[in-house]
Amino acid sequence: MANRIDRTFEELRARNQAAMIAYIAAGDPSLDATQAIVLALERAGVNLVELGLPFSDPLADGIVNQLAASRALDAGATTPKVLACVRDIRKSSQIPIVLYTYLNPIYQYGFHKFMTDAEAAGVDGMLILDLPPDEVASNPDFAATGNLRQIRLIAPTTPEVRIAKLTANASGFLYYVSREGVTGERTDVADTMAAGVAAIRATTSLPIAVGFGISTPEQVHQVAAVADAVVVGSAIVKRIAEWGAEPDLATRLEQFVAPLAAATKQR
């Protein structure tokens, strides 16, 4: 059954364009601001939004995204409130939304209840950072996720045999982490990026998104030439930290992101 993620990639492939994916922390600087930011990102040309579910111990995230999660928690963001925020976004937008999260908040909420409520709220996919594929195969809970697409992370150090295992139980798209380490802006694109994308593409027909460290239109254009989607996160989150108290936050972000989104369309 197709959902918004599938339809979006099908439409972009037909136009020979890559997708622009933007990451923000839900609730930073507030949940009302998150709703306005998502709509601004869509106006800027973003095709899919990753919403980080605030968590107190985000080990895969760099300092910029860790601080964003902390600000969101301090501002009162909770898992039920984030799902309510998605429901509010759905009143104005059908942009695909992926929840970027760790297992702990999901199990605190209740796994099956979370998946049911997330899909009902309008979430399209899940990217669970600390969920190994081995656990997916051995735990029936992880198969009962309704129509939510299950996004898998693949690292540059992942062996080829494991890549095939990861892609076999993925849906929606694959997220290739182009660098070792945690999230954060970088000054260049990893030299191994193209080879990494090619290795993944040999095992699956799913779209491949590349992220971690991408922050300029030039980098976006370089990645879009070989990948199906480009993820920009820390560069956007950093501006939210800088402009969070400004009344025109959403407008500033729209202006910042528009050149990045445009670069995905210039293949």
Active site residues: 50, 61
Look at the block and give the residue holding tokens 């939004």.
49
Residue type, 218: E
Q: Can you read off the two tokens belonging to residue 167?
A: 């892609």
Query: Helices in the chain by DSSP H: which ranges?
Result: 4-14, 31-44, 63-74, 79-89, 103-109, 111-121, 133-138, 160-168, 193-201, 217-224, 234-243, 249-263
List C-alpha distances in Å: 68 to 33, 251, 267: 13, 19, 32
Tell which residue, 236, 225, 212, 187, has the closest CA to residue 22.
236
